[in-house]
């Protein structure tokens, strides 16, 4: 087998996996009784997507909006807190237990409070997306800053560098791959947060659409909603990877040569 | 006049040497884990002298580097740099470690330019004289044979090339003291010998003082004017040898019988230091 053949197989693998999944799904639903009410076939789901494409599009845009907004706020806040605890050992000691506790709280448990404070709709969805997305960003930024080589720090200090110069010239650039790696995790978690909030407290969004559809026993539309969320998350993930590759090309210089 | 004086009279007064360590003691850890890393260490390095420090593992060689550069302060005794008591990180020092510690996101040239961005006397003129500084960095890279690699990233360089760039970064701002902590330890024998030559050439050209910490006795004898043997913990100077080979030394010097004798002698002293 030659290399181009090898590479095209690798490239086709995700599509083959999806095709296989669809086949198994189709077969499974033909074996289930009343499949349209429990496990509708992919063809039925596709039909529902076409039939309801207007509703799906507007609700998907709503979910996309709150997810991206929550993600964006998480990036700003996460970088800020991550830098703060990465730079100051004292802040790290003070805040870390709190952050772990905050992260351990099941976010769905926040929903009653969020509804109480902000009502239903975009606000709680954005906040829930934010609250899920922010933690991996904080952890990665702080870890990235801590990855400064102590010998590099000695070199900097002996040149007369102050703490600020060490952070800006060494710490922050070294942190970038960690930051962009956290984006991939954070963006998918943001979608989870938005949809979770929409299923409980919203009048639009994919989560709301699925909740509505399931109340009407339109199971094909529920599955259509799932497929749309998955597709959006995969696209957002892919965009994060592209940005990551662009920005931190240097971090793979060393490894590329060994393959 | 002074050079005509006999050796034993030529002890400089306090703080007169370029680097002057007097009765240095250093403790590591706290409470029950307190250990004496260095005790009663005296070391004077003259302006422009090349001193190598050898000794058993754990003799505080790397600690000595940090003491001289003011990255840590002694618990006992007095340390002077250029006549001034050391109270914090010393200015105008170049440092190179066994790991090249180059910044992977910068090109080789960008890495070598780093001191100009940080050292106080340079950083405010960097924007105005950028071209001149870049030219200086490029010339230095050319001296060590990295002319064509200035715009490559460290990940694209071999270990030996990275170490050359590391030495360039340590010397580009023409420091008066160069500190080398096993800088060639991870390299193969040929590359190492080549870099000894490069280091000697730069030292002759720039005239800085140098302190080299190494496990490699041949490296110490080849490069240094004086080789210092430290004892096991707590580290102190137990022996020193003045290396008299004329400069510039050819790499073939290391195959001379006298060279071998010196290395053998030093090895014996280190073994003694380990056993005592």
As a whole number of angstroms, the distance between CA A159 and CA B252 comes to 36
- The pLDDT > 90 percentage for chain B reads 52
What's the predicted TM-score (pTM) here?
A: 0.80
Contact (CB<8Å) A160/B89: yes
pLDDT, residue A108, reads 86
Measured CA to CA, the distance from residue A217 to residue B54 in angstroms comes to 81
Report, as an integer, the average pLDDT of B222-227: 95
What is the rounded distance in angstroms from the CA atom of residue A151 to the CA atom of residue B62? 11
Chain A: residues touching B (Cβ < 8 Å): 149, 151-152, 154-161, 165, 169-170, 173-174, 176, 248, 250-257
A189 vs B11, more confident: A189
On whether the CB atoms of residues A126 and A66 are closer than 8 A, the answer is: yes
Query: Which of A149, A158, A173 minimises the CB distance to B105?
Result: A173
- End-to-end, the C-alpha distance of chain A in Å comes to 19
Residues A160-165, mean pLDDT to the nearest whole number: 88
Over residues A116-147, the pLDDT tens digits come to 999 998 999 999 999 999 999 999 999 999 88
Confidence check on the interface: ipTM exceeds 0.90, yes or no: no
Most B CBs within 10 Å: which of A157, A158, A174, as the mutation test of the B interface?
A: A158
- Chain B residues touching residue A252 (CB < 8 angstroms): 155
Q: Which residue has 């922050």 as its token pair?
A: A172
pLDDT digits 0-9 by tens, A8-38:
999 999 999 999 999 999 999 999 888 888 8
Residue B59, CB-side half-sphere exposure with 13 Å CA sphere = 25
Q: Provide the shortest C-alpha distance from residue B46 to chain A (in Å).
A: 20
| Minimal CA separation from B115 to chain A, in Å | 6
Q: Would you place residue B128 in the very low, low, confident or very high pLDDT band (cuts 50, 70, 90)?
A: confident
Mean pLDDT of B122-134: 87
pLDDT of residue B13: 59
Rounded CA separation A100/A96 (Å): 6
> How far apart are alpha carbons A116 and B135 in whole angstroms?
65
Closest alpha carbon within chain B to A154: B71
Q: What is the 3-state secondary structure (H, E, C) of B127-161?
A: CCCHHHHHHHHHHHHHHCCCHHHCCCCHHHCCHHH
Task: pLDDT band for A1, please (50, 70, 90 cuts).
Answer: low
* Cα A184 to Cα A138: distance, rounded to the nearest angstrom: 14
CA distance A154 to chain B (A): 7
Q: Specify the range with the lowest mean pLDDT, choosing from A3-7, B65-69, B137-141.
A: A3-7
Residue ranges covered by each domain of chain B: 102-173
Report the pLDDT averaged over residues A225-249.
91
- Count the Cβ atoms, other than its own, within 10 Å of residue A258: 5
A48-57, A109-118, B3-12, B124-133: segment of lowest average pLDDT: B3-12
Using a CB-CB cut-off of 8 Å, the residues of chain B touching A256 are 155
What residues of A are in contact with residue B101 (Cβ under 8 Å)?
149, 151-152, 155
The span from the CA of B175 to the CA of A23, in Å, is 70
- How near does any CA of chain B get to the CA of A166, in Å? 10
Contacts of B30 (CB under 8 A, 6+ apart): none
Q: How far is CA B69 from CA A75, A106, A121, in A?
A: 39, 51, 61
CATH for the stretch A42-256:
1.10.3720.10
């Amino acid at each position: 087998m030659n290399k181009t053949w090898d590479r095209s197989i690798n490239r086709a693998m995700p599509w083959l996996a999806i095709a296989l999944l669809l086949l198994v799904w189709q077969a499974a639903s033909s074996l289930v009784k009343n499949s349209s009410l429990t496990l509708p076939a992919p063809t039925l789901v596709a039909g529902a997507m076409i039939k309801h494409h207007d509703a799906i599009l507007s609700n998907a845009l709503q979910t996309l909006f709150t997810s991206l907004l929550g993600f964006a706020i998480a990036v700003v806040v996460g970088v800020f807190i991550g830098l703060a605890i990465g730079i100051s050992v004292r802040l790290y000691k003070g805040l870390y237990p709190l952050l772990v506790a905050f992260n351990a709280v099941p976010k769905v448990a926040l929903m009653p409070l969020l509804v109480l404070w902000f009502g239903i709709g975009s606000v709680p969805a954005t906040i829930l997306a934010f609250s899920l997305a922010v933690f991996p960003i904080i952890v990665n930024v702080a870890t990235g800053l801590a990855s400064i080589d102590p010998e590099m720090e000695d070199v900097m200090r002996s040149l007369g560098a102050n703490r600020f110069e060490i952070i800006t010239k060494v710490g922050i650039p070294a942190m970038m791959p960690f930051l962009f790696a956290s984006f991939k995790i954070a963006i998918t978690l943001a979608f989870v947060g938005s949809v979770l909030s929409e299923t409980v407290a919203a009048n639009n969004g994919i989560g709301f659409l699925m909740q509505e559809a399931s109340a009407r026993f339109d199971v094909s539309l529920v599955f259509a909603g799932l497929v749309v969320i998955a597709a959006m998350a995969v696209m957002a993930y892919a965009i994060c990877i592209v940005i990551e590759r662009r920005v931190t090309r240097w971090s793979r210089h060393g490894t590329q040569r060994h393959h | 006049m002074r050079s005509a004086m006999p050796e034993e009279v030529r002890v400089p007064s306090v703080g007169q040497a370029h680097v002057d360590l007097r009765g240095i003691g250093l403790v590591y850890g706290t409470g029950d884990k307190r250990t004496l890393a260095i005790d009663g260490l005296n070391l004077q390095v003259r302006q422009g002298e090349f001193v190598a420090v050898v000794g058993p593992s754990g003799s505080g060689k790397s600690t000595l580097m940090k003491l001289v550069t003011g990255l840590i302060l002694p618990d006992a005794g007095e340390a002077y740099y250029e006549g001034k008591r050391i109270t914090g990180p010393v200015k105008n020092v170049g440092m190179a470690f066994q790991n090249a510690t180059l910044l992977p996101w910068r090109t080789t040239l960008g890495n070598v330019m780093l001191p100009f961005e940080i050292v106080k006397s340079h950083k405010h003129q960097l924007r105005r004289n950028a071209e001149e500084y870049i030219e200086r960095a490029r010339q230095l890279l050319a001296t060590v044979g990295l002319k064509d690699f200035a715009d490559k990233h460290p990940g694209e360089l071999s270990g030996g090339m990275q170490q050359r760039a590391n030495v360039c970064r340590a010397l580009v701002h023409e420091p008066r003291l160069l500190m080398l902590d096993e800088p060639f330890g991870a390299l193969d024998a040929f590359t190492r010998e080549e870099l000894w030559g490069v280091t000697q050439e730069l030292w002759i050209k720039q005239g800085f003082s140098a302190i080299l910490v190494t496990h490699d006795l041949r490296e110490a004898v080849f490069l240094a004017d004086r080789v210092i043997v430290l004892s096991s913990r707590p580290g102190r100077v137990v022996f020193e040898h003045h290396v008299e080979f004329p400069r510039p030394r050819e790499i073939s010097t290391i195959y001379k019988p006298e060279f071998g004798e010196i290395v053998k002698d030093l090895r014996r002293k280190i073994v003694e230091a380990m056993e005592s």
